[in-house]
Structure 1
C-alpha cells in the first residue's frame, strides 16, 4: 500500500508500506527496514522500521520511528489523510511535534519550513492556522502520554 506525502512546493514523497491493522484509532501501516521510498530528489529504502497511524478527517499522521540512535514518535500535521486508489495521501503542513522516546523530550520541529510556506503562499491562511493549533495540541498530547495508541504504535513496530 502506498503512502503519498505531498510537500509544497517540493513535490511528492512516496512510501511503499504494508497495511496491517484497522481499529478505533485508524488505519495502521508499517514499513520494515528496507521499505522503498521515493522523493523528488532521490530514491532509496528505509534504514529503520516505521509504523504509521492515519485516519480520515484527522489532521495529523503519527509515525513511530525505530531509529536506535533516537527512537521517536513524529506527528506530521497535515490536511486530513484521504484514501486513494492504491493507498493513502495527505498534504503536509510542515509542523511536526516529536516525542524523543529515550529522553522523553517533546518539541515542535520545522518552524522554518512552516514560516517559508506561509511567506511564499504555499499554504493558505486557514491551513497555517490549522497547522499551529494542531501542532500545539499534539505536542500537549505527547507530553501527557495518556492516549493508548501512543504505546500501541511501539508494540506494532517491526523489528530492526
Structure 2
C-alpha cells in the first residue's frame, strides 16, 4: 500500500507533515492509518513519532478521519484518546491532504472525560485577525457539536472509529518514516 501525506497548517505560518496509509472513503469521510513509530515532521525539519505529542503513549497507532464536509480532522489513538483538530475542511491539495488548524481541540479520553481545549488560543487568533468571524463561528459550532456527538456516541465516534483502528493494526503495515521530496512548509 503506497503512503499518502497529511499536512496540518498553522496560522500565520508553520505546518506539520506525516505520511499515512489512505484506507478508504465511506459515508463518514476518508480514513487514514498511521502505524506506531511513524514519523511526524515539523516545518523546522525536526521529527518525532506521530502521536508522540500530547496525552497518550509515544508513537501510538492512530486512525484519522477527514470528514466529507466537517470543520475538523479526527484522530483515534490506541491509548483510547479521541482527539479532534477543529480546522478548515480537510481537502486533497495536489498529493497531500491539507487542513488549517483553527485552534480548538475537542477530546474524549479513555476514562470518558470529554472537553475542548484551547478556547484562549482561538480568541487570541481571532483578535489577531488570523481567524475570521465566520471561521470562529464555524470552529465554535464544530467544537460544541463534536462534544455532543462524543457524549451520545454518534458514529463514527461510537464504535466505528475504534473498530477501524483495530482492523488497521491487524493489517501489520510497517511504520512510515520517509517524507520523500515534500517541502518543509
Number of the residue aligned with 1:94? 103
**Equivalenced residues, count:** 156
When structure 1 is superposed on structure 2, of 48-57 and 136-145 the one drifting more is 48-57
Aligned equivalents of 2:105, 2:38: Cα separation in 1: 22
Q: Deviations over 1:56-106 (max 9, x none)?
A: 322111110223xxx2111211111111221311111111110112x1110
1:6-155 matches, cutoff 5 A: 6-41=9-44, 42-46=46-50, 47-67=59-79, 71-101=80-110, 103-148=111-156, 150-155=158-163
Aligned equivalents of 1:147, 1:2: Cα separation in 2: 25
> Does the Cα contact within 8 Å between 2:149 and 2:157 map onto a contact in 1?
no
Considering fraction of residues, name the structure with more strand.
Answer: 1
| Paired residue secondary structure (1:150) | coil
Cα separation, partners in 2 of 1:87 and 1:131, compared to 1, 3 Å: same
> Does the Cα contact within 8 Å between 2:150 and 2:157 map onto a contact in 1?
no
Aligned equivalents of 1:148, 1:13: Cα separation in 2: 25
Structure 2, gaps ≥5 residues long: 51-58, 173-185
Query: Normalization by structure 1: what TM-score?
Result: 0.89
Q: CA deviation at 1:10?
A: 4.5
Residue 6 of structure 2 corresponds to residue 3 of structure 1: yes
When structure 1 is superposed on structure 2, of 130-139 and 1-10 the one drifting more is 1-10
Query: Normalization by structure 2: what TM-score?
Result: 0.78
> Does the Cα contact within 8 Å between 2:28 and 2:68 map onto a contact in 1?
no
Q: What CA RMSD, in Å, does the superposition of the two structures yield over aligned residues?
A: 1.8
In the TM superposition, structure 1's runs of 4+ consecutive aligned residues that sit over 4 Å from their partners are: none
